[in-house]
Amino acid sequence: MKVHVKVNGISYEREVEPRALLAYFLREDCGLTGTHVGCDTSSCGCCVVVMDGERAVKSCSMFAVQADGHEILTVEGLADGGRLHALQQGFWDQHGLQCGYCTPGMLLTSYALLRHNATPSEADIREGLAGNLCRCTGYQNIVKAVQQAAGALRESVGAS
C-alpha cells in the first residue's frame, strides 16, 4: 500500500506492507531513528510521536497506513535548526534524562500535553506522562523539565 505522510515538514511517499508499524516506517523508511521501540506492546511510551501537531500517539501500536495523509512530528523535528526546543532545554537544565532511551517519548508526550494545557500543574504533568515509563530517573526531574518548558513557552508567546 502507498503511504504519503509529512514527517518533520518533509513529505515521504513509500510503498509499505499493510501490517508495517508506524515506528518501523519512521525508523527504516524515513531514517529517523530517534523514535525508539521499547516494548512493542504500547506499554512503555518510548515510541511516542505527535500526529497533526496535537495528538501524542504510540507509533508501535499504529500501522503506517493509518498515518497516511497526516503530519508526524518526531524528536528529530523538535529543535529549530541548532536551537533546542524549550522541552529539550528543560530536560538538559533539569537533568530530566539518564540513559535517554525513554526521552524521545517523554519529550513528545510533553509537547502534546503543553499544546493542550499551557499551564499544567505537577499533577497534570504526572497524569499526562502516565503512559511513559522511565527506569532511571524517578520522574521528578522530568516533571521539573516540563514545568520549566511550560514557563519558557508562555514567556515566548508573551514576548511575541
Pairing of strands 71-73, 55-58: unpaired
User: Is residue 160 scored above 80 in pLDDT?
Assistant: no
Q: Are residues 90 and 73 in the same domain?
A: no
* Number of structural domains found in the chain: 2
Strand partners, 73: 50
CB 77 within 8 A of CB 122: no
The three cell numbers locating residue 23: 515506528
User: What is the residue range of 61's domain?
Assistant: 2-77
CATH number, domain containing residue 151: 1.10.150.120
Helix boundaries (H) for 4-132: 22-24, 86-93, 103-116, 122-128
Q: Where is the domain boundary, 32, 59, 77?
A: 77
User: Is residue 159 scored above 70 in pLDDT?
Assistant: no
Cβ of 18: how many Cβ atoms within 10 Å?
9
The H or E element containing residue 62 is none
Q: Are residues 73 and 6 in the same domain?
A: yes
CATH number, domain containing residue 12: 3.10.20.30
Q: Give 24-78 pLDDT, tens digit per residue.
A: 999 999 999 999 998 878 899 999 999 999 999 999 999 999 999 999 999 999 9
Q: Give 81-92 pLDDT, tens digit per residue.
A: 889 999 999 999
Q: Give 105-152 pLDDT, tens digit per residue.
A: 999 999 999 999 999 999 999 999 999 999 888 899 999 999 999 999
Q: Return the percentage of the chain with pLDDT > 70, whole number.
A: 99
